[in-house]
Structure 1
């Protein structure tokens, strides 16, 4: 009888482990879904931040073209924007020259 009780004890423990495994798998699936939702939300927030940054830059440019009394920071930003625009123009000119040759 002792062997049968030992086998039954092992079977009971296996059943408990199997139930625990199923519960952990369900928890894992739920946590994965939560992580995916949070990653999607984070991506959306990053896109919103990028769009707002772009709007802020455009607003700064618009304000700079309207006023003469610029702070040093605004003047530096204005020079940076002009430099980028000049770089783009040079790159466009190079492309046109390559197309013409």
Structure 2
């Protein structure tokens, strides 16, 4: 993608997902894109081994949910919603930096 602004896009190496995504189509699509699927199987595996990876995502969603404007989307325009999301992410990062300094 030469000639495009920003950093080049990269695909993740693995995808961690729970039992809701246990379907042949999901696994096939991941492999077609060169991504290793780590999906718990229904009735066979427990989703608990995915817990430590999913916890990071769930925790981040919880931090962003503190901002009501993001939880209940009032903006119709995507650019304004993206601006508020970026601001919320910056505030979350600032709070984490303050916590460790």
Q: TM-score by structure 2 length? A: 0.30
More helix by share: 1
Which fold has the larger relative contact order, with Cα–Cα distance below 8 Å and residues 6 or more apart in sequence? 2
More strand by share: 2
Q: TM-score by structure 1 length? A: 0.30
